[in-house]
Structure 1
Amino acid sequence: MSAPTSTATTARVSFAGDPHDLVEPLTERFGSLFCYRLPGRERRTLFASLSDVWRVTADGIERDGERFDGDVAALLDQLLAEARRGPGPDVAFAFSYDLSLRLRAEAGIPGGPPPATAPGRLLGFAGPLRRAVVHDPATGTLSCAAQDRADVVAACARTTARTAPPLTAPLTEVVVDIDPVRYAGQLARARDHLLAGDVYQVVLSVPVRVRPRTSLPRYYADVAARYATADYSYWFDLAGTRVFGNCSLPHVLARDGRVSSRVFAGTQPAARTDRERQDRGALLRGDPKYFAEHIMLVDLERNDLGSYCEPGTVVVDRLCDPLVIGPTTYLASDVSGRYDPARGLGRVLLASFPRGVVVGAPKLRAQEVLAEIEGEPRGFFAGAVGLYDAAGDALTSNTIVTCAEQDGPDVLLRCGGGVVAGSEVAQELAELELKLRYLR
């Protein structure tokens, strides 16, 4: 992650609190805000204004009345190339699952029209980050441009003045919960497709409407505290759309000609000790349904990376390793390969979009089945959000699997789970409830 500006004009402000508490005061000062915590030991968090980004809607790509005539991949490649030449500011991006359906339709791939979205609804964005602030937990400081120091100091003062403690469960009032009858019908329709051989697995998602007991930024901070060990934390507020979440599922990570991703499949409650984690991993690996489902998705990921990586370079770096994320223990496998940098990172990012792990297999047919069964837009659930580090020429992105989107006074939550021919309604509903536990 590059510095906000040159060393001569960089200010540092001490901050020992939770960086998520800065979302609300920095939004007041910077306007539309992007917040992104990166994985790894450093776990730095970036905050920046989204005032200069390109917005993607059903009507096209525009920025302050200016139109971009190319496609989304071309826009990404142009923005990343401009950043590399500077090096300029970091580039942020987020793409909804619904955008993937529109890109598919525009490319002439069969599958019928995507579910209708409201006119002008945000489907994605990409652009340079201005007025950036970087939180470094190792030093307990915030780095920013010198001219932004007063605003950042004021934001820090707001967080220390907050007297209300974080909320304990429940964080929300449930307005509309999972409809078990509707879900049972959807699972039955999915099973018909599975038994007919149309798909081998399909990831059904469900919506839940909740009303937070506090402000939306405070709710995000409280949820993030529950997901403190998650690799990624993300928030963006643009054009009336507020989306946020926390997860450890990469979309693609690319640096020095190497790209990697991760597969999750198989779910158990969160393990509390390393011994418990290993025991639950053994339980998941020993379950024929979970193991077969996981290996199928690993093969799908290898195929996706193999479509643009150099032949013979795609490998599975670890297989079926138990990983605890929030309220769940998953089986996780990492897949990586080498790619030709001349291809363009924008096209690398979109080559695996959307991920099979949030759609099913075969992926294109699974998308058709989902459009038929779910019959409504998914929004940013199963989409991707990330950051391009201009100084390090590195792309970091994650799949949006923990997804919350503001809708008036309420928040729409969506989560999903893979189903196969042997899936049972009670078991799948229990897994969905488990995945929603830290959000409610």
Structure 2
Amino acid sequence: MTVPPSETIELCLSWLATRDEGALPSLLLSAGPITEDARYCILAERPRFVVEGTPFGAMGGRFSVRDTRTGSTIAAEPIDRLFDVLRQIERDHGRPPVSGQPGSAATLPFSGGWIGALGYDLAWSFEYGIPRYRERTTTLPDVWLGFYEEPLVVDRTTGAVHGDATAIAAFSQRDAQRTRPRFRAGALRSAFHREDYEAAVERVRQHCIAGDLFQADLTRRIEFDLEGDPRGLFESLVERSPASHMAYLGLGDGRAVVSASPEEYLRLADGVVRSRPIKGTRPRADSPERDRELRDDLLASDKDIAELTMIVDLVRNDLGRIAEPGTVEVGAFPSVLELPQVWHLMADVTAHVDARHDVWDILAASFPAGSIVGAPKPMALEILERVERSRRGFYTGAIGYLEPGGNAMLSVAIRTAEVSERRLRIGVGGGITALSVPSEEFEETCDKARGFLLALGAREDGVTVVGELDDGVD
């Protein structure tokens, strides 16, 4: 079946708005300009298996696998066994079939498998051996994956919809009278006031000057009380801050992950893995002349080019651990990524994956993404653990899909919010080097928060939000 290409985004949002929360709906949405990498949208609900876990807290460094058909827990293991158990589930249940469109699986990015999020703190499950200095302040897990057997895949270029025929028919019925799900956000709280964040920047900068670090990505968290439906926030983000790797994950029990990430952590297809780290930020301007000046200033910045160079070297090293010898390559460097609120620098790093390795090996070799940690990675992880005020959770982890034995696409979970216990938590941050100016680094985090604040109808003035926040839909 095909639908008008111009209506694909609205149909995806309508589908999401009408899903039951208990169906655990997931929507991976490519918004903004259509490109080969931002062409498809993936919609899924009612996963066969649900995986949740965390290295910390009440779950005690464990994860569980629940069979949603029986309601039973089929596995409860230490978190360092996570990837082994996921492999076993894939072996036991095989590649999910594609129904409704015979022969289409070969050309689609995803025909079924895992959709979900891996939190930044999953790094503590790997070999880094980093001390832990902060406790968790949320009940959200650090791993949430659903095994979805019958996804819908929508091609924004052609309007083609692939998947189960009954689900396609329901998807194509647009409700012209539909209104956006309502939400309201209350007063803002920040884990870092401006002065404290700038002091933390200076601490990291001194580590860079001392030679402990080349670069580290320092973050802070902004929190709101949230009433209503976070799907309304997601729709507002699509309207005001569209990005190529948007995602809404309904985790059940009033929990959700909302993301408008522009950054590709890894894309695996036909045995080739690609990562597209971004570094360096300039705000957009209303005046075309001023906008071009800001773009050119970013391209001419020694600090930002050096930052991207260091991260590209880190990504090359990470991918080299799973690549065929001599196949790691860097494409155009640097390129400029244009987003509604900011400019970024970007690079392409690709590698041919050694046949002995799968996507879980790639994750073990490279997670979390170098661009949101720093270099050298183990030292950056430890220093950030000492300096930052709160655990990052899903923020700066990874969100996307992983097909058993096939394709994968994971974004870096930036421009990402968590919702639980009627609280909305947004993370923002930036790369710190010896050349960083603390006040400018704080302003960069404000630039990056702008998309979410616009979607909330808010503005950040240092550390407060002015006025009550509403989606404005009547």
Q: TM-score, normalised by structure 2?
A: 0.79
For the 8 Å contact 2:272–2:353, the answer to whether it is kept is: yes
Deviations 1:390-437 (A, max 9, x none): 6x9211111101111114333111111001122112211111111011
Deviations 1:236-279 (A, max 9, x none): 12154311111221111111111110111111123779997775
Counterpart residue identity of residue 111, structure 1: I
Which sits farther off after the overlay, 145-154 or 372-381?
A: 145-154
Counterpart Cα distance in 2 of 1:24 and 1:86: 26
Residue 72 (1) aligns with residue 82 (2): yes
Could you tell me which residue of structure 1 aligns to residue 342 of structure 2?
328
2:63 to 61, 66, 69: 61
Residue 25 (1) aligns with residue 18 (2): yes
Deviations 1:26-79 (A, max 9, x none): 134x62121112562533232323452222234322123221547222234334
For the 8 Å contact 2:12–2:43, the answer to whether it is kept is: no
Counterpart Cα distance in 1 of 2:326 and 2:351: 8
Counterpart residue identity of residue 37, structure 1: L
Q: Could you tell me how far 1:311 is from its partner in structure 2? A: 1.8
Residue 381 (1) aligns with residue 400 (2): no
Counterpart Cα distance in 2 of 1:360 and 1:319: 19
**Matching of residues 402-417 of structure 1 within 5 Å:** 402-417=415-430
Deviations 1:112-144 (A, max 9, x none): 136323696411123420453333434546555
Q: TM-score, normalised by structure 1?
A: 0.84
Secondary structure of the 2:309 match is helix
Counterpart residue identity of residue 162, structure 1: R
Residue 40 (1) aligns with residue 37 (2): yes
Counterpart residue identity of residue 93, structure 1: G
Residue 345 and residue 32 in structure 1: after superposition, are their counterparts in 2 closer, same or farther (change >3 A)?
A: same
2:134 to 97, 115, 133: 115
Counterpart residue identity of residue 61, structure 1: F
Q: Which runs of 5+ in 2 are unaligned?
A: 31-35, 67-72, 98-110, 454-474
For the 8 Å contact 1:405–1:411, the answer to whether it is kept is: yes
Counterpart Cα distance in 2 of 1:425 and 1:381: 22
Residue 317 and residue 273 in structure 1: after superposition, are their counterparts in 2 closer, same or farther (change >3 A)?
A: farther
**Matching of residues 289-308 of structure 1 within 5 Å:** 289-308=303-322
Counterpart residue identity of residue 29, structure 2: R
Counterpart Cα distance in 2 of 1:262 and 1:245: 17
Residue 126 (1) aligns with residue 159 (2): no
Could you tell me which residue of structure 2 aligns to residue 6 of structure 1?
none
For the 8 Å contact 2:139–2:420, the answer to whether it is kept is: no
Counterpart Cα distance in 1 of 2:328 and 2:395: 27
Counterpart Cα distance in 2 of 1:232 and 1:141: 19
Counterpart Cα distance in 2 of 1:124 and 1:165: 27
2:378 to 325, 349, 364: 364
Counterpart Cα distance in 1 of 2:322 and 2:172: 46
Counterpart Cα distance in 1 of 2:374 and 2:47: 33
For the 8 Å contact 2:95–2:112, the answer to whether it is kept is: no
Identity %: 24
Counterpart Cα distance in 2 of 1:165 and 1:344: 40
Deviations 1:318-355 (A, max 9, x none): 10111112311011100011111331221113321001
Q: Could you tell me how far 1:370 is from its partner in structure 2? A: 0.7
Which sits farther off after the overlay, 238-247 or 273-282?
A: 273-282
Counterpart Cα distance in 1 of 2:426 and 2:312: 27
Counterpart residue identity of residue 328, structure 1: V
Which sits farther off after the overlay, 297-306 or 207-216?
A: 207-216
For the 8 Å contact 1:12–1:144, the answer to whether it is kept is: no
- Cα RMSD over matched residues? 3.1
Residue 400 and residue 366 in structure 1: after superposition, are their counterparts in 2 closer, same or farther (change >3 A)?
A: same
For the 8 Å contact 2:112–2:150, the answer to whether it is kept is: no
For the 8 Å contact 1:97–1:381, the answer to whether it is kept is: yes
Could you tell me which residue of structure 2 aligns to residue 4 of structure 1?
none
Deviations 1:192-220 (A, max 9, x none): 32222211111110111235686311111
Deviations 1:4-27 (A, max 9, x none): xxxxxxx87886525224323113
For the 8 Å contact 1:96–1:381, the answer to whether it is kept is: yes
Secondary structure of the 1:318 match is coil
Secondary structure of the 1:66 match is strand
Secondary structure of the 1:184 match is helix
Deviations 1:337-379 (A, max 9, x none): 1111331221113321001100111111000001100142101
Counterpart Cα distance in 2 of 1:272 and 1:318: 28
Counterpart Cα distance in 2 of 1:382 and 1:292: 21
Counterpart Cα distance in 2 of 1:426 and 1:138: 43
Counterpart Cα distance in 1 of 2:181 and 2:19: 20
For the 8 Å contact 2:23–2:45, the answer to whether it is kept is: no
Secondary structure of the 1:398 match is strand
For the 8 Å contact 1:37–1:231, the answer to whether it is kept is: yes
Could you tell me which residue of structure 2 aligns to residue 8 of structure 1?
none
1:250 to 238, 259, 264: 264
For the 8 Å contact 2:415–2:428, the answer to whether it is kept is: yes
Counterpart Cα distance in 2 of 1:85 and 1:226: 37
Could you tell me which residue of structure 2 aligns to residue 3 of structure 1?
none
Could you tell me which residue of structure 1 aligns to residue 444 of structure 2?
431
Counterpart Cα distance in 2 of 1:61 and 1:389: 20
Counting matched residue pairs gives: 417
Residue 114 and residue 143 in structure 1: after superposition, are their counterparts in 2 closer, same or farther (change >3 A)?
A: farther
Counterpart Cα distance in 1 of 2:228 and 2:276: 34
Secondary structure of the 1:74 match is helix
Secondary structure of the 1:379 match is coil
Q: Which runs of 5+ in 1 are unaligned?
A: 1-10
Counterpart Cα distance in 1 of 2:287 and 2:82: 44
For the 8 Å contact 1:356–1:363, the answer to whether it is kept is: yes
Secondary structure of the 2:49 match is coil
For the 8 Å contact 1:13–1:143, the answer to whether it is kept is: no
Counterpart residue identity of residue 425, structure 1: P
Could you tell me which residue of structure 1 aligns to residue 49 of structure 2?
52
1:100 to 123, 134, 137: 123
Q: Could you tell me how far 1:172 is from its partner in structure 2? A: 5.0
Counterpart residue identity of residue 360, structure 1: G
Secondary structure of the 2:332 match is strand
Q: Could you tell me how far 1:223 is from its partner in structure 2? A: 0.7
